[in-house]
């Protein structure tokens, strides 16, 4: 059985606790595209997409940045 994505659940908890500034800062330094996609799918499943437009924009922007083949985070 696969482990649930801990990073995404922590960022979702930050967002739900109305600490969007910290959540956006963490989204900007997301470790992988997989983590961002897990966060995005968690927001979709909890019906939170559109509730915080600034968080949605941060997720979309950083997905695009990390998906580019020349931009990646070092392990």
pLDDT in tens, 19-64: 999 999 999 998 888 999 999 999 999 898 889 999 999 999 999 8
pLDDT number for residue 5: 76
Indicate the pTM of the whole model: 0.81
Say if CB 40 and CB 11 are below 8 A apart: no
The Cα 53–Cα 15 span in angstroms is 12
pLDDT number for residue 70: 65
DSSP state of 1: -
The Cα 29–Cα 7 span in angstroms is 11
Under the banding of pLDDT at 50, 70 and 90, the label for residue 73 is low
Q: Is the pLDDT of residue 3 over 70?
A: no
């Amino acid at each position: 059985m696969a482990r649930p994505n801990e990073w995404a659940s922590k960022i979702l908890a930050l967002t739900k606790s109305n600490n969007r500034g910290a959540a956006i800062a963490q989204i900007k330094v997301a470790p992988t595209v997989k983590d961002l996609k897990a966060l995005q799918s968690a927001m979709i499943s909890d019906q939170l997409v559109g509730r915080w437009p600034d968080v949605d924009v941060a997720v979309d922007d950083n997905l695009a940045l990390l998906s580019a083949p020349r931009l990646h985070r070092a392990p």
